[in-house]
Amino acid sequence: MNPYIEILRPGNALMSAISIILVALIDKTISIPVVLAMLAVFFETAAGNVINDYFDYKIDLINKPDRPIPSGRISLKNGRNYGYFLFFMGTVCGFFISYLTNNWIPFAIVLFADVVLYLYAYKLKSTPLLGNLTVGFMTGFGFVFGGFSINNPTIIMTSIFLGFFALVMTTAREIIKDIEDIEGDKADGARTLPILIGAKKPAILAAILIVVDSALCPLLYYYHVFGILYLPVIAIAVVLFIYSAIIILKSQEREVAAKASKNLKIGMLIAFVAFIFGSL
């Protein structure tokens, strides 16, 4: 694969853009601002991935030497400039969304994302809990961005709810991933929550977040955001969520944390499918 495509982690960036598609499905609309919003989320996510690799250069020389920058296929300077270019492209998309909709909130959101993604790669990632929250916040922000890009008050409120769901569940998964990565993070000198206070308390926190999010899921049907087809599909996701909470509470071993993290990821994908079915 071309290193300039590989460093984007295109699969990850495309998954982020799905949040815009889901919001558009709820509104049952497609427009130029929606397409631009998808591009903006793709560019911003890709930019975050690239600038993250730029700041992680020394760590990746040891842990992930095959990545484009540490392997020498992309120079450190070119990697940094490539990240800046992608941030610029995302910002341009945000500007045109606001220009076309006469609503400058999407442009402000993209500018905010530029700053947060850069700070996360530079500093926040190594900050206990705050780094986890930042990942969750930016994941949820994709839905909110989609709502404001469509500029429909009802859809905006729905997108905020979906964004909150994504924020909470992603934060829980990031905490569990830190439990999974304790040994490697210790070797890198990282200061994650499980390293600082042990794995048990972060596991309890993650489980609480999972249960709270699972309890909120039926509200999307109750408040008529989604139709009846939403319920059987989201039920499958909730089972996976609760199972993940149970196993991480019972054991914080690396293998168990990896299993819980994987189940949460699958559950979130199923939840996205539930959003689609509920919109039919």
pLDDT digits over 118-147, tens only?
998 888 877 788 888 888 888 888 899 999
Q: Determine the distance from the C-alpha atom of residue 61 to the mean position of all C-alpha atoms in its chain, rounded to a whole number.
A: 25
Token readout for 271 is 């939840």
Over 70: is that where the pLDDT of 63 sits? no
Q: How confident is the model at residue 204 (pLDDT cuts 50, 70, 90)?
A: very high
CA distance 203 to 218: 24
Q: Any alpha helices (H) in the chain, and if so which ranges?
A: 3-6, 10-27, 32-55, 57-63, 76-101, 105-122, 130-150, 153-180, 182-187, 193-197, 200-216, 219-222, 230-250, 254-279
CA distance 188 to 234: 38
Over 80: is that where the pLDDT of 157 sits? yes
Domains, the chain, in order of start with CATH, read 1-151 (1.10.357.140), 152-280 (1.20.120)
CA distance 2 to 22: 30
**Average per-residue pLDDT for the chain:** 89
Over 70: is that where the pLDDT of 280 sits? yes
Over 90: is that where the pLDDT of 257 sits? yes
CA distance 6 to 73: 11
Q: How confident is the model at residue 59 (pLDDT cuts 50, 70, 90)?
A: confident
pLDDT of residue 272: 86
Q: What is the pTM of this model?
A: 0.84
Instruction: Decide which of 84 and 153 is more confident.
Output: 84
pLDDT of residue 188: 67
Q: How confident is the model at residue 249 (pLDDT cuts 50, 70, 90)?
A: very high
Instruction: Decide which of 79 and 224 is more confident.
Output: 79
Over 80: is that where the pLDDT of 60 sits? no
Mean pLDDT of 93-109: 95
What is the percent of the chain with per-residue pLDDT over 90, rounded to a whole number? 50
Do the Cβ atoms of 92 and 27 come closer than 8 Å?
Answer: no
pLDDT of residue 86: 96
Mean pLDDT of 257-274: 92
